[in-house]
Amino acid sequence: MKKVKILSFVLALTLVVAGFAGCGQKEAAADPAPAKEESKEVKKAILVTSFGTSYADTRKVTIEAVEEKIAKEFPEYEVRRAFTSNIIIKKLKERDNIEVDTVVEAMDKLKTEGFKEVIVQPLHIMPGAEYSDIREELRAYNDGTFEKFVLGRPILTHQDDYQVAVDALKEQLPELKEGQAVVVMGHGTHHPANASYADLQNVIDKNGLSVYVGTVEGYPELDDVIKKLKKDNIKEVTLMPYMVVAGDHANNDMAGDEEDSWKTILKGEGFTVNTYLHGLGENAKYQDIYLDHVKTAIEGEGEVIPAPVESVEKGQWQEGKKGMLVVSFGTSYADTRKLTIEAVEEKIDKAFPEYEVRRAFTSNIIIKKLKDRDNISIDTPEEALNKMKEEGFEEVVVQPLHVIAGAEYNDVLEVVKKYEETFKTIKIGTPILNTPADYKTAVEALKAQLPEIKEGQAVVVMGHGTHHPANASYACLQSAIDDEGLNVFVGTVEGYPELDDVIEKLKEKKVKEVTLMPYMLVAGDHASNDMAGDEEDSWKTILKGEGFTVNTYLHGLGENAKYQDIYVEHAKKAIEGEEE
C-alpha 540/C-alpha 108 separation (Å) is 56
Q: What is the pLDDT of residue 5?
A: 38
C-alpha 185/C-alpha 277 separation (Å) is 11
Q: Of the listed 191, 402, 464, 468, which one is catalytic?
A: 464
Average pLDDT score, the chain: 93
CA distances from 164 to 176, 196, 246, 555 (A): 21, 14, 21, 37
What is the tens place of the pLDDT at every residue in 75-90? 999 999 999 999 999 9
Residue 96 CB neighbours (<10 A): 10
More confident residue, 401 or 14: 401
In order of their start, the domains of the chain are 42-155+285-308 (3.40.50.1400), 173-277 (3.40.50.1400), 322-431+563-575 (3.40.50.1400), 450-554 (3.40.50.1400)
Least confidently predicted of 25-29, 59-63, 544-548: 25-29
Residue 424 has pLDDT above 80, yes or no: yes
- Contact in structure between 158 and 199 (CB atoms under 8 Å): no
C-alpha 202/C-alpha 199 separation (Å) is 5
- Contact in structure between 461 and 440 (CB atoms under 8 Å): no
| Of the candidates 47, 2, 40, the residue with the CA atom closest to the CA atom of residue 141 | 47
**Dihedral angle over CA of 383, 387, 392, 397, nearest 10:** -50
C-alpha 276/C-alpha 239 separation (Å) is 6
Percent of the chain predicted with pLDDT > 70: 93
Is the backbone of residue 559 left (phi > 0), alpha (psi -120 to 50) or beta?
A: alpha
User: Residue 370: CB partners within 8 Å, gap ≥ 6?
Assistant: 330, 332, 376, 377, 378
| Of the candidates 262, 125, 282, 258, the residue with the CA atom closest to the CA atom of residue 183 | 262
Residue 9 has pLDDT above 70, yes or no: no
| Burial bucket for residue 315 (CB in 10 Å: 0-12, 13-18, 19+) | buried
C-alpha 222/C-alpha 214 separation (Å) is 6
What is the tens place of the pLDDT at every residue in 385-400? 999 999 999 999 999 9
What is the tens place of the pLDDT at every residue in 255-268? 999 999 999 999 99
CA 487 to chain centre: 27
Residue 58 has pLDDT above 90, yes or no: yes
464 among known catalytic residues: yes
Q: What is the pLDDT of residue 41?
A: 83
Q: What is the pLDDT of residue 82?
A: 98
Least confidently predicted of 26-35, 130-139, 295-304, 550-559: 26-35
Residue 21 has pLDDT above 70, yes or no: no
Q: What is the pLDDT of residue 578?
A: 77
What is the tens place of the pLDDT at every residue in 22-45? 333 333 333 444 444 444 689 999
Q: What is the mean pLDDT of residues 416-441?
A: 97
Q: What is the pLDDT of residue 11?
A: 34
Residue 471 has pLDDT above 90, yes or no: yes
More confident residue, 356 or 8: 356
User: Could you tell me where the DSSP H helices lie in 527-578?
Assistant: 539-545, 561-575
What is the tens place of the pLDDT at every residue in 169-195? 999 999 999 999 999 999 999 999 999
